[in-house]
Structure 1
């Protein structure tokens, strides 16, 4: 569902009309963000899969066959080992109760219709009840919310912050808020369904036309298995707009047909039916944004999602990852995020945004802390490792994002993307090492890794609805490399191969260094261009830059080539040497990944040189030792 980015961006134009004009009028000064003292590392876990010990991996398998993980699988030992990896925040993906093909009627939960469920376990982005959690994740489904609260407490006990998803653009076709707090009405409860649009309707409607289930000769729900609810029909009259914005009563099979789109007061023609933010608020604090919205009349959907976020904040959740945030107007984000920050100033708010032209709007006006750096940095790194580009354009990307670099979260793996170790991406986890070093050290922004990445998980399983190259989010399935580290609940890596152990050790060394380094929260300068032009032996796969603070100076050198060993004299230009206040002389360097010594920085006539020999897929983080 989530990979239909083109369709998403088309629909997103409804919500971002007239934003470019505002962006151009914004002050040029940099936002003064509440910057953490050290780097942040987010560990994304797909909660349903993390603790699963079964290895049958039968396509379309039931949970009794393929297994399912629980909240209780995040034991003290598991959380301790995650913390030791160098993690500061855990994003528990797929926690809110979503539509699935499973019988929980004994717990007062209605069965979902397989005609509007993707996979068997269901998409975590088709939320069915925002005030409760997935019953699959509980040992006792009747106590599922209490079990999640206990997980929050365990996570906090280990010094880790908790992040969960909020999916504001769409909800499950069969949403049932059976856990609503007193006085909270369900989505659509007061809607006027006789019209396509009304400001305080929660949904958009197609009056006079019932919903029709999409069909395809290439796909059958549950792979054709018999089910009493599986009849090619789903009662919804009138039909609602589909989650990705389709206005057809019978959406396409590639649409997000299992979901319906939320109305945020954007008329069908794209105009806005709510107060707009003055341009002067772009660089203002969340407190000023919060004051702006006081006594303003806003659409009903805004209030519903604000209350949902504050409900989870009140439970101890430390932050949120917002799904397809750019399909929702940034004015809403200003309204909700400022309310969250008033409750918890340290809340961690990250969002999925894929349109670089809108980055600054969602940061400055929407008060987002962090956005996915997918379309710029991630896509370029993928092109580099696939041999489609030299790494040099990375310098241009850093330049373009320099005013917002702190807000651009870096990653290589996540639930939407191909596993970096998969043949369709990098092919081997070793080839990802320099990409990971670059991602984790080039900026002051957070780094995110996806569970299993640190042991080379390749996502090769045919899970049923989910196909190889990604770890399926729609099915009950095992995650083989991760399961070897999990070692039947011991969480000691007891079944890992020597190569997998070495890879996890690399990730641990890198991530732990990043969360302790002062320089990585300091200044950055590219030295790529000068070395590309002047340095003999500086092969095409080499990329270098420097980072520094008052008490730490770093040289970061990556060899993105997986075949070429390079030997060259790296040049540290005079302006860097001057900024570092290094007089002529010889300085010892120590690699911060493996503590290797023997390399020296020679400063002569105000210019530095370092004799570097670097192997394929190798990286150095040299610290100047004084």
Structure 2
């Protein structure tokens, strides 16, 4: 039985949006917005059929926006502290609420989310949502918090810069100043609140650790840094005698969503939150909700073990590691070679490699098909084979990746940088061809897009169904093959195996095919009890590879920018 997580990340705001306008800095009325109800049984069945076990619904918690929802009693946000017309999903306005834009009937938005959780479970998948623990929107204030819950910051002593029992850090005696030059919503957007000012006194520290009343336009100026009591503004550590109130507030928030059936949390920027908090939180949550998972967005490889072993995280981003190495190889960067992949599991993630979440796209990274990355979505094939099969940890695909979404053009706050905007109302034009006005049948995809999507379907299903690829041991085959004719450092070769299934993985990052005879070391053959004639089948294409004598190796042709999963 496979326990490998195969995660589909999607932004409901974008996923089901069938509006094709894509006006620069367009409003929700002009550019449209996807709804939670768009993710219906047919959509979920198609996602499940691709091999996914989990869906990460990104941006479902209520966040600050320039869209006015005052007609249903929601206080408007000041656009001077909102990025993009839609707003950043990581500038949380109410930890207990669902983003109003995502609901067909806004008054029942939480019920619509509960229904989505139920539909997802019925389709045989689990639900992951964001937990944003480091910062909130400058306009934060919960209007749906349960009875007895104290709002974040409500009991703070605002006369001091720091107190271990304050929820925020303050800059006493100073007013917050909106960064000069910020034009919220673009030239065409007008609002009585768009005046270059925001009334915040005393000023609070900004989300990316800016302890000043005057953050720059390049800072996360739309957010407020949360204070877990462990660190003073100068970075000095404070020894706590007991958990501060904020810790209990955050635990209550997670429990609120777990009670709705959420199966896991992707935790934003975990290294900006003290590991002491995670060490306190995760065991309690896992005891209360058996099977609950925590995925951490992490970038400091020197801290990976700390957050796994002490922080209690099940999985961490492998961005500064496998993603970076594979990106260099995919783009044919000068000097890129597959020994960099060895360095990842042998050094960066040694001892915790099965805890690493692998991906080639997410909402923070550039699209593979964009001119800023590979320029061609098909060039992801060798890197995705490795990302999916290198170890037991999760693999993740970002909605649109499977059809080659290129993230063309600037959309508003988000510039033309190869990323699909999380700030603006827009659509995913290539994914729309698969969505096909809500039929989710892919009828408008090109032949190349169909082929790309079929590759992902095959790879993910094979990975999920293979005991060796999901749960098996790893054996490195680079050293055994580095002297073989045809071998070069754009090839990567390894084995995954259990007692009942053996798979040799070989990928080619070259722009032309390579012929090589893959050698399996004597100790591996002995372990596999393999001798004489052996037949291998490529799990991706069902092609058969036969060798009269396994001791002489497996002769293969590796197509350009492709790979083989040779199962015996």
With the shorter chain as reference, the TM-score category is: over 0.9
Q: In 1, are the aligned partners of 2:211 and 2:233 still within 8 Å (CA)? A: no
Q: Is the 1:84–1:508 contact (alpha carbons within 8 Å) kept by the matching residues of 2?
A: yes
Which residue pairs with 2:32 in the alignment?
67
- 1:78 offset after TM fit, Å? 0.2
Residues 57, 461 of structure 1: 8 Å contact kept: no
Counterparts of 1:317 and 1:545, CA distance in 2: 36
Q: 1:491 aligns with which of 440, 460, 467?
A: 440
Query: TM-score, structure 2 length as denominator?
Result: 0.97
Contact 1:274–1:298 (CA<8 Å) still a contact in 2? no
Distance in 1 between residues matched to 2:435 and 2:218, nearest whole Å = 35
**Contact 2:2–2:466 (8 Å) recurs in 1:** no
* Structure 1, unpaired ranges of 5+: 1-35, 276-295
- Aligned residue number for residue 427 of structure 1: 375
1:237-316 matched pairs, under 5 angstroms: 237-265=201-229, 266-275=231-240, 297-316=242-261
Measured on the aligned residues, the alpha-carbon RMSD in Å equals: 1.2
User: Secondary structure, in 3 states, of the residue corresponding to 2:185?
Assistant: helix
How many Å apart are 1:509 and its aligned residue?
0.3
Aligned-pair CA distance for 1:47 = 1.4
Residue in structure 2 matched with residue 382 of structure 1 by the alignment: 327
Alignment of 1:312-351 (within 5 A): 312-351=257-296
**Quick one: which of 211, 220, 223 aligns to 2:183?**
220
Change in CA separation of 1:368 and 1:539 when aligned onto 2, cut-off 3 Å: same
Which residue does 2:301 correspond to in 1?
Answer: 356
Instruction: Give the distance between the partners of 2:447 and 2:104, measured in 1 at CA.
Output: 34
Structure 1-normalised TM-score?
0.88
Match of 1:482 in 2: 431
Count the aligned residue pairs.
Answer: 561
Aligned match for 1:189, one of 151, 154, 161: 154
Residue 97 of structure 2 corresponds to residue 153 of structure 1: no
SS at match of 1:437: helix
**1:547 to 2:493 alignment:** no
Match in the other structure for 2:384: 436
Of the three residues 513, 518, 522, the one matched with 1:570 is 518
CA distance in 1, matches of 2:547, 2:311: 45
Runs of 4+ in structure 1 over 3 Å off: 271-275, 601-604
User: In structure 2, what is the equivalent of residue 86 of structure 1?
Assistant: 51
SS of equivalent to 1:315: coil
Partner SS state of residue 8, structure 2: strand
CA contact under 8 A between 1:206 and 1:249: conserved in structure 2? yes
Q: CA deviation at 1:274?
A: 4.5
Instruction: Tell me if the contact between 1:526 and 1:545 (Cα under 8 Å) persists in the aligned partners.
Output: yes
Which residue is 2:476 aligned to?
Answer: 526
Q: Is the 1:459–1:471 contact (alpha carbons within 8 Å) kept by the matching residues of 2? A: yes
Q: Deviations over 1:266-299 (max 9, x none)?
A: 2223333345xxxxxxxxxxxxxxxxxxxx7201
1:594 and 2:567 are equivalent in the alignment: no
What is the match of residue 623 of structure 1?
Answer: 567
1:513 paired residue number: 462
**Does the 8 Å contact 2:28/2:67 carry over to 1?**
no
| SS of alignment partner, residue 519 of structure 2 | strand
Residue from 100, 104, 125 that aligns with 1:139: 104
Gap runs ≥5 in structure 2: none
Mapping for residues 2-151 of structure 1, pairs under 5 Å: 37-151=2-116
Find the residue that maps to 1:321 and give its secondary structure. strand
1:443-488 C-alpha deviation (Å, 9 max, x unpaired): 1100000001011111113211112300000000010111000010
Tell me which of 153, 161, 164 is aligned to 1:199.
Answer: 164
